[in-house]
């Protein structure tokens, strides 16, 4: 059980259980993709991938893996992302935002993205929803043509007609400062069920990435795992260790029974655990 190959199998089991919990939490919902690249101690280029999504009204950014890339060209990064998504059964159609470090700050906000940000302000709940603007929200829907059917576009008009008055009269929404607070309280008060289409707009707005700090923290962990004295660690083993280290909260929830079951299913073993 202390053989190197067994230790690698154990790390793979734990990493796969962590990823399983993340993907189950995302389900069939939308998410944003955050990507950055850095070289490790062996001068190998590694791409870190983080998913940003909203669950139960809370925004989460979760690390799902390091991928070795031969170079940092757009084509190589896209190919690596496609392979990773195919391995985990993720759909590219669910990506509603992308964040890449190292982009030029001069074209970060072009005309289209600036208009998108302007439309999102119509959801801001601060000062008793003083910024609420149905026209902005109708324009916001146009940015997501595949997320709202023709029926949805008609139904949301009914929601928009009663939404501001309902929220202003509910004291639980009186002190909200931003869209993140709005999403959380909507779920806590079950208002996301009463205004499902507006809540969908809230989620689509929140998944848009604003920074890649989470990805940078993943690289900091990578450099703690792969050191000068441990510089021959393989890419797969490094990936599994970093997943467990970064997502330590999910790692702590994993039961021994699940690990044993996954470990035994990997390949035939000499003895039964």
63-99 confidence digits (pLDDT tens): 999 888 887 777 888 888 999 999 999 999 999 988 8
- DSSP state string for 74-127: HHHHHHHHHHHHHHHT--GGGEEEEEETT--SSSSS-HHHHHHHHHHGGG--HH
pLDDT greater at residue 226 or residue 13? 13
Q: What is the dihedral of CA 256, 258, 259, 262, to 10 degrees?
A: 160
CA–CA separation, 148 and 197 (whole Å):
8
Q: 155 with 207: CB under 8 angstroms? A: no
pLDDT greater at residue 163 or residue 41? 163
Residue 233 pLDDT class (50, 70, 90 cuts) = confident
How confident is the model at residue 104, as a pLDDT? 43
How confident is the model at residue 4, as a pLDDT? 82
Q: What is the pLDDT of residues 109-129, one digit of tens each?
A: 555 578 888 899 899 999 889
Helices (H) and strands (E) in the chain, counts: 13, 4
Q: What is the pLDDT of residues 1-59, one digit of tens each?
A: 678 888 899 999 999 999 999 999 999 999 999 988 877 666 778 888 999 999 999 99
How confident is the model at residue 202, as a pLDDT? 95
Q: Which residues of 133-142 are buried (b: 16+ CB within 10 A; e: fewer)?
A: beebbeebbe
Mean pLDDT of the chain: 87
How confident is the model at residue 210, as a pLDDT? 75
């Amino acid at each position: 059980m202390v053989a190197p190959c067994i230790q690698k199998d154990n790390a793979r089991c734990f990493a796969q259980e962590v990823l399983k919990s993340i993907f189950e939490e995302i389900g069939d919902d939308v998410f944003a993709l955050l990507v950055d690249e850095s070289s490790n101690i062996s001068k190998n280029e590694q791409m870190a991938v983080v998913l940003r999504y909203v669950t139960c009204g809370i925004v989460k950014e979760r690390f799902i893996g390091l991928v070795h890339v031969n170079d940092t060209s757009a084509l190589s990064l896209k190919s690596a992302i496609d392979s990773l998504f195919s391995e985990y059964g993720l759909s590219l159609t669910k990506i509603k935002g992308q964040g890449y470090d190292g982009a030029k700050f001069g074209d970060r906000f072009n005309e289209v993205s600036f208009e998108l940000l302007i439309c999102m302000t119509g959801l801001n709940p601060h000062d008793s929803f003083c910024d609420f603007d149905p026209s902005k929200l109708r324009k916001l829907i146009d940015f997501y043509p595949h997320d709202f059917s023709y029926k949805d576009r008609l139904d949301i008009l009914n929601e928009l007609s009663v939404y501001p008055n309902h929220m202003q009269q509910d004291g639980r929404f009186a002190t909200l400062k931003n869209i993140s607070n709005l999403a959380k309280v909507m779920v806590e008060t079950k208002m996301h069920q009463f205004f499902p289409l507006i809540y969908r707009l809230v989620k689509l707005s929140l998944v848009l990435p604003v920074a890649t700090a989470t990805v940078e923290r993943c690289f900091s962990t990578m450099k703690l795992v792969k050191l000068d004295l441990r510089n021959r660690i393989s890419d797969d083993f490094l990936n599994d260790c970093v997943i467990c280290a970064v997502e330590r909260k999910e790692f702590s929830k994993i039961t021994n029974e699940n690990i044993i079951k996954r470990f035994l299913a990997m390949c035939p073993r000499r003895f039964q655990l």
